[in-house]
Amino acid sequence: MFIDQAKITVKAGNGGNGAVSFRREKYVAAGGPDGGDGGRGGDVVFQVDDNLSNLIDFRYQRKYNAPNGQDGSSGNRTGKSAEPLIVRVPRGTLVREANSGRVVADLSGDEPVVIAHGGKGGKGNARFATPTRQIPRFSKPGFEGESLELTLELKLIADVGLVGFPNVGKSTLISVVSAAKPKIANYHFTTLTPVLGVVKLDEGTSFVMADIPGLIEGASEGVGLGHEFLRHVERCRLIVHVVDVSGSEGRDPSADFEAINRELRNFSEELAGRPQIVAGNKCDLAAAEQIAAFRSYVEKKGLPFYEISAATTAGTKELMGAVAAKLAELPPVKRYEPEPPTPEELEKEHHKFNISVEDGVYVIDAPWLEQILSTVNIDDYESLQYFQRVMRSSGIIDELLNMGIQEGDTVELMGFAFDFVN
């Protein structure tokens, strides 16, 4: 089964919490605070693995969680930072943020890419000791690790894409010019998945060719297999358009040529603008008049035309030589640049909350506040001050005031109820 799209969720590890601790040793008169910082949470890292050819593994596992950092401890000991979670993907995987569609990473190179960053560790109470605050009874929680819902899209990395109607001889062509062994038979849609082959010419001259499963009219709208696999032509630097000039299936070669190019344009104007070489296949079955008429038609459009017979290998060497010469003039395979989130998106994500009123109680839903609340010491004035600053800076206090809250009204947060004081 060939899977080239998947939707997954990744969650980087949370930072460990800072510790609240005081030295209590014999003969030490005033030990003071010694709570250590929490360790950093693990990152989620994507790494290319050339042993993988599709995204089928992501159909069965959709959630990837990196480990959390360890909490700090007494003696000013910092918690251990967590190891990163390595997620292996096939080369050519494009990672997008599911909701916005922005590009997070293009896994085309060998370098690993951090997709979700682990949270920083929280500070222990030793960090808050000052000459005027000698006994801080609070610490800071670890920061949440990044959580992302992602779509993975495999776009094969090939220099050349073979396109054309079903049964025009694309599979035969790639099988005679490379070591690829696609299924070949005399019926439509023999090839059900894209096939890659390395074409080697002279010493040091080679390129990767992709046989894209047969397109038909309406492919860009989801008809046939073409819509499923057109994305794999997007990275190609050059298109080799294979046409059956013999009309062996009762179709007009010129009409076939126009239909396929129309589907490419409908799918992507950029794709339709790629350089194109036309290969007239099955010339051994065609009359000279048929070949001449189609050659004239193609050359009037300013495109190079080559007569071949993939079945007998006639003309294939010349075609591959022309392909290699054209590739030498073209820029490298397209890579997608990551698109950073906007400041507005970042602010919205980190301070997301919802407030509802239930029986006169203002209920705050803000999961990111849970760790902060868990470390607040309600008996410590400075700890409560810190919590109030977080509530105000995140906009929660302003929203409560906008909703008409009054002094003494009850506020509930994560099961903890308190009276509102502005």
Residue 345, domain member (yes or no): no
Enter the tokens of residue 30. Answer: 């005033």
How far, in whole angstroms, is CA 80 from its chain's centroid?
Answer: 29
Using DSSP, state whether 32 is helix, strand or coil.
Answer: coil
Taking Cα atoms as reference points, which of 375, 311, 351, 321 lies closest to residue 16? 375
pLDDT above 70: percentage of residues in the chain: 82
Domain boundary (137, 154, 171) is at 154
Residue 3, domain member (yes or no): yes
Based on the fold, state whether residues 177 and 29 are members of the same structural domain. no
Based on the fold, state whether residues 68 and 207 are members of the same structural domain. no
Taking Cα atoms as reference points, which of 186, 194, 176, 196 lies closest to residue 313? 176
In angstroms and rounded to an integer, the radius of gyration of the C-alpha atoms of the chain is: 31
Q: What is the pLDDT of residue 223?
A: 46
Phi, psi (deg, nearest 5) at residue 269: -60, -35
Based on the fold, state whether residues 239 and 194 are members of the same structural domain. yes
Q: Residue 176: is its pLDDT beyond 60?
A: yes
Taking Cα atoms as reference points, which of 95, 106, 143, 101 lies closest to residue 123? 143
Domain boundary (120, 154, 188) is at 154
* Contact predicate 336/103, CB 8 Å: yes
Based on the fold, state whether residues 169 and 306 are members of the same structural domain. yes
Residue 333, domain member (yes or no): no
Based on the fold, state whether residues 75 and 180 are members of the same structural domain. no
Based on the fold, state whether residues 43 and 85 are members of the same structural domain. yes
Neighbours of 354 (CB within 10 A): 9
Based on the fold, state whether residues 168 and 295 are members of the same structural domain. yes
Phi, psi (deg, nearest 5) at residue 374: -65, -20
Q: Count of domains in the chain?
A: 3
Based on the fold, state whether residues 10 and 102 are members of the same structural domain. yes
Enter the tokens of residue 322. Answer: 């022309």
How many whole angstroms separate alpha carbon 303 and alpha carbon 217? 22
Based on the fold, state whether residues 164 and 286 are members of the same structural domain. yes
292-315 mean pLDDT: 93
Under DSSP, the state recorded for 335 is: -
Place of tokens 């009409």: 255
Looking at residue 169, which CATH number applies to its domain? 3.40.50.300
pLDDT digit string, tens, across residues 317-331: 999 999 999 999 998
Based on the fold, state whether residues 264 and 310 are members of the same structural domain. yes
Based on the fold, state whether residues 295 and 405 are members of the same structural domain. no
Looking at residue 123, which CATH number applies to its domain? 2.70.210.12
Based on the fold, state whether residues 57 and 114 are members of the same structural domain. yes
How many whole angstroms separate alpha carbon 236 and alpha carbon 331? 11
Looking at residue 384, which CATH number applies to its domain? 3.30.300.350
pLDDT digit string, tens, across residues 79-125: 999 999 999 999 889 999 998 888 999 998 899 999 999 988 988 88
Q: Residue 182: is its pLDDT beyond 60?
A: no
Sign of torsion over alpha carbons 176, 180, 181, 183: negative
Question: pTM of the predicted model, to two decimals?
Answer: 0.68
**Comparing 230 with 54, which gets the higher pLDDT?**
54
Domain boundary (278, 295, 327) is at 327
Domain limits at 124? 1-154
